[in-house]
Amino acid sequence: MKLFLDIREDEAAQHARYQLAITLPAKWLQLPVDKLLDTYVAQYAKKFPDDALVKADWAIYVKDPSPFARTPWKKVSTDSLMGDAFSERQELWVAKAVQPADAAAARNARTCKNYGCQKHFELADNGPDACTYHEGAPVFHDTRKWWSCCEEAKVYDFDALYAVPGCKRGPHSLTPPAAEVKANAAVKEAAARAAERVQSVPPSAPAPTPSSAPSTQPEPPVAAPPKPKPPVLPAGMARCKHAGCQQDYSIEANAPTACTHHAMAPVFHDGTKKWPCCKKTAWDFDEFMRIPGCETGPHEPMVA
End-to-end CA distance of the chain: 28
Taking residues 163-191, report their average pLDDT.
Answer: 75
pLDDT at 15: 81
Taking residues 1-5, report their average pLDDT.
Answer: 88
- Residue-wise pLDDT for 65-109, tens only, equals 665 556 677 888 888 888 888 888 888 888 888 765 555 554 556
What is the CB neighbour count within 10 angstroms for residue 114?
22
Residues 118 and 157 in one domain: yes
Residue 228 has pLDDT above 70, yes or no: no
152 lies in some domain: yes
Domain that holds residue 11: 1-97
pLDDT at 171: 93
Q: What is the CATH number of the domain that holds 1?
A: 3.10.20.90
pLDDT at 111: 82
| Domain-terminating residue out of 147, 168, 184 | 184
191 lies in some domain: no
Nearest to 162 by CA among 141, 132, 190, 127: 132
Measure the CA–CA gap between 167 and 133, rounded to whole angstroms: 6
277 lies in some domain: yes
- The pLDDT confidence band at residue 170, using thresholds 50, 70 and 90, is very high
250 lies in some domain: no
pLDDT at 63: 82
Q: Is 202 exposed, middle or buried (0-12, 13-18, 19+ CB in 10 A)?
A: exposed
pLDDT at 172: 92
The SS3 call for residue 47 is helix
Residues 85 and 115 in one domain: no
Residues 80 and 147 in one domain: no
Residue 192 has pLDDT above 70, yes or no: no
41 lies in some domain: yes
| Domain-terminating residue out of 58, 74, 97 | 97
Measure the CA–CA gap between 68 and 70, rounded to whole angstroms: 6
- Residue-wise pLDDT for 262-298, tens only, equals 988 888 876 778 889 988 888 777 788 888 888 888 9
Instruction: Give the number of domains in the chain.
Output: 3
pLDDT at 131: 93
Residues 143 and 72 in one domain: no
5 lies in some domain: yes
* Percent of the chain whose predicted confidence (pLDDT) is above 70: 76
* Lowest mean per-residue pLDDT among 122-131, 133-142, 215-224: 215-224
Q: What is the CATH number of the domain that holds 154?
A: 4.10.1130.20
Residues 1 and 84 in one domain: yes
Q: pLDDT higher for 240 or 189?
A: 240
Residue 133 has pLDDT above 90, yes or no: yes
Interior angle at CA 121, CA 118 and CA 124, nearest 5: 150
Residues 87 and 133 in one domain: no
Nearest to 285 by CA among 297, 295, 273: 273
Residues 51 and 130 in one domain: no
Residues 89 and 3 in one domain: yes
Residues 79 and 118 in one domain: no
Taking residues 231-248, report their average pLDDT.
Answer: 85
| Domain-terminating residue out of 184, 205, 226 | 184
- The pLDDT confidence band at residue 149, using thresholds 50, 70 and 90, is very high
Residues 1 and 93 in one domain: yes
163 lies in some domain: yes
pLDDT at 6: 87
Residue 133, Ramachandran bin (φ over 0: left; ψ between -120 and 50: alpha; else beta)? beta
Residues 93 and 125 in one domain: no
The mean pLDDT value of the chain amounts to: 79
Taking residues 201-216, report their average pLDDT.
Answer: 58
Residues 11 and 87 in one domain: yes
What per-residue string of b and e applies to 60-92 under the rule 16 or more CB within 10 Å gives b?
Answer: bbbeeeebeebebbebbebeeebeebbeeeeeb
Residue 210 has pLDDT above 80, yes or no: no
216 lies in some domain: no
Number of H helices, E strands in the chain: 6, 19
